[in-house]
Structure 1
Amino acid sequence: MIRKIHEAREEEGFTLIELLVVVIIIGILAAIAIPTFLNQREKAWQSAAKSDLRNSAVVMEEHFNDTGSYANYAGTFKTSDGVTVTIAATPAASTTVYCLNADHAKLGAAGSVDFHLNSTVGKPAANACA
């Protein structure tokens, strides 16, 4: 009878080593997955800023088609949550060039990436307008 009780005790539950191995494996998987997830969020915020920048460029082109100039655009740009699009330099009435800046609030000061688009380049680029 004592032998049966002793054998039953040996077979139930997990050993401390087995539990430690599982915890270590979960820790390694988390160390791999969490930075990847955070990086994808940052890329999504950057994509939102670029998309809003392109949409704002369309608004500027519509203004040019209506008035013949990029100057004196007084409207605002519709943007995604957290994205700010600004006209970096207000062009003179005679110019046919504009430059827009876009930034996402969630990128923060340390990870902030300003994107700019001007009418001569035609696609978003990193950093601010020159």
Structure 2
Amino acid sequence: MRSLFLNNKDRGFTLSELLITMAILSLLAGIAVPIYLGQRSKAAHSEAKANLEAIRLFEEQRFAENGSYGANSTTYLFTEAVSSLQSLLPGFRPGNAANLNFDYQLVVGGTGTTFTATATGKSSSVVDGATFSIDNNNNRSGF
């Protein structure tokens, strides 16, 4: 009786072997993708936390040198359209606002002795709707 296969090197994978391989790969992808997306979100959140901490440190330095955190009852922004925050804090250089995941806002209180810095997630990013804030007493929200 003649074998269906001429020799071993002409043999391929059976359909069941291919299906089992596909099932294993699908299972691994199903586990890995949600973990990856969660890590992207965590990385974006760390951007906001680091930049808010930098703003707080620059504001503390400004207060020590000038006796105020900025002009009374003023809001400073760092967004794609406005970068008034850098005029107040020239050392704050988080990068190109278009490439960041958050927009930043600094509100100086009525007497210039208080501030609240807020990072708001851009709608076009993985952190849409996320909000973090820090104030002059190092009270944090969202961290």
Q: TM-score range by the shorter chain?
A: 0.7 to 0.9
RMSD: 2.5
2-structure distance, mates of 1:123, 1:28: 43
2-structure distance, mates of 1:79, 1:119: 20
Where structure 2 has 5 or more consecutive residues not aligned to the other structure, the ranges are: 75-86
Q: Deviations over 1:81-109 (max 9, x none)?
A: 4132211x32122x532110013432353
Q: Within the alignment, does 1:90 sit opposite 2:108 as a pair?
A: yes
Could you state the TM-score of these two structures normalised by the residue count of structure 2? 0.71
Q: Partner of 1:60 in structure 2?
A: 59
Q: Partner of 1:100 in structure 2?
A: 117
Q: Within the alignment, does 1:125 sit opposite 2:108 as a pair?
A: no
Could you state the TM-score of these two structures normalised by the residue count of structure 1? 0.78
2-structure distance, mates of 1:43, 1:67: 36
Which structure has more helix as a fraction of its residues?
1
The answer to whether the Cα contact below 8 Å between 1:114 and 1:126 also exists between their aligned partners in 2 is: yes
Sequence identity (%): 27
Secondary structure at the residue paired with 1:3?
coil
Shift of 1:51: 0.2
Where structure 1 has 5 or more consecutive residues not aligned to the other structure, the ranges are: none
Secondary structure at the residue paired with 2:12?
coil
The amino acid that maps onto 1:49 is: A
The answer to whether the Cα contact below 8 Å between 2:103 and 2:120 also exists between their aligned partners in 1 is: yes
Aligned residue pair count: 120
